[in-house]
Structure 1
Amino acid sequence: MVSYKLTYFNGRGAGEVSRQIFAYAGQQYEDNRVTQEQWPALKETCAAPFGQLPFLEVDGKKLAQSHAIARFLAREFKLNGKTAWEEAQVNSLADQYKDYSSEARPYFYAVMGFGPGDVETLKKDIFLPAFEKFYGFLVNFLKASGSGFLVGDSLTWIDLAIAQHSADLIAKGGDFSKFPELKAHAEKIQAIPQIKKWIETRPVTPF
């Protein structure tokens, strides 16, 4: 039996999509949650591949970078698309999601208290333009699939990632009036029984 261990902070963040893949697949794994206070000492001893979290251990072998981990697990548990083309489309969306996250990062860091700047100014100047551009792309993918999923006619890991991000924004009062399709998408994905159960039982964390 393969042994999996995911090491990440005690938050959703970059580890959540992998946790949801495990939940959907019904796969046992060790969810190694690290506090911000524990991380500096752990960093010196755990040999994280790139000196950062998350990383996944598979039978003791380590894999870093959140999207690389998600792609690996999605391939293992059949959540990467039904064809090579669908997998490529999923990966293209994931790469665009990273671009969006980079654009919006100053706003999110300020909101969480990790970075400088006036939150309202950053929201208007940084977050909203990035959000509206990216979510416009997502609407196009939903319309093209016609299935309620972003790619093809079945769940993929990018559905899990986007649905969780949307749900987090909605929980903080995010305005989805321009993107009702993405609000419905989040509700659809997070109502899948395995995902719903995970969300109801996962540790409560601020991010």
Structure 2
Amino acid sequence: MPMGQVPILEADGKVMYQSLAISRYLARLVGLYGENPLEDYEIDNAVDNINDFRAKLAGAQYEQNAVAKEEKFKLLKAETIPYFLEKLDAIAAENDGHFALKKFTLADVYFTGMSNYLSLMAQQDITANYQNLKKVVENTIATPGIKEWVEKRPKKV
């Protein structure tokens, strides 16, 4: 383990690490990435926007000082959460229920995979009032292969 932590992936004798780097590598292999650098940028931009939202939520969620945590959550609920969700919802609307290129990409998989965790940290269902975000999740879960896995996966981890 190069950095002493998971995830890792070994392919062709190369040990890879960092979850997003591995995700991008796999996305290229299975056609969930762009066909040129500009398309790659669109996907990376969406993933990074989602990750920026995650980082903002985590800053409050993992705050150790109770008073500071309460203040951070007030700001999140009043400004940060609505700001990010409105922006992300608009991106999904522009892309017909996807985050980039008007088609199923790594960005959709990333958001869907993170949506429960983001909702937990936001202390609300992040898709409840954002129909385009809900559509991203629905589109992703309806994708062949993903749909079958979701139906048979363990219900609790």
TM-score interval for Structure 1 and Structure 2 normalised by the shorter chain: 0.7 to 0.9
DSSP-derived class of the 2:27 partner = helix
Counterpart residue identity of residue 90, structure 1: I
Q: CA deviation at 1:102?
A: 1.6
1:138 maps to which of 88, 100, 104: 88
Q: CA deviation at 1:133?
A: 2.5
- The normalised TM-score by structure 2 is 0.78
RMSD over equivalenced CA pairs, Å: 2.7
Deviations 1:134-161 (A, max 9, x none): 222222322322x322111321011011
Could you tell which deviates more after superposition, 90-99 or 172-181?
172-181
1:1-207 equivalent positions in 2, closer than 5 A: 48-109=1-62, 117=66, 121=70, 122-126=72-76, 129-145=79-95, 147-168=96-117, 169=119, 174=125, 176-206=127-157
Taking only the aligned residue pairs, the percentage that are identical comes to: 27
Structure with greater helix share of residues: 2
Q: Structure 2: how far apart are the matches of 1:132 and 1:183?
A: 15
Structure 1 segments unaligned to the other structure (5+ residues): 1-47
Counterpart residue identity of residue 85, structure 2: Y
Q: Structure 2: how far apart are the matches of 1:95 and 1:175?
A: 17
Q: Structure 2: how far apart are the matches of 1:62 and 1:127?
A: 40
Q: CA deviation at 1:188?
A: 1.8
CA contact under 8 A between 1:139 and 1:179: conserved in structure 2? yes
DSSP-derived class of the 1:104 partner = helix
Q: Structure 1: how far apart are the matches of 2:107 and 2:41?
A: 12
DSSP-derived class of the 2:150 partner = helix
Q: Structure 1: how far apart are the matches of 2:115 and 2:42?
A: 20
DSSP-derived class of the 2:145 partner = helix
Structure with greater strand share of residues: 1
DSSP-derived class of the 1:193 partner = coil
Q: CA deviation at 1:52?
A: 1.9
Structure 2 segments unaligned to the other structure (5+ residues): none
Q: How many residues align?
A: 152
Q: Structure 2: how far apart are the matches of 1:161 and 1:129?
A: 23
CA contact under 8 A between 2:33 and 2:43: conserved in structure 1? yes
DSSP-derived class of the 1:51 partner = coil
DSSP-derived class of the 1:57 partner = strand
Counterpart residue identity of residue 185, structure 1: V
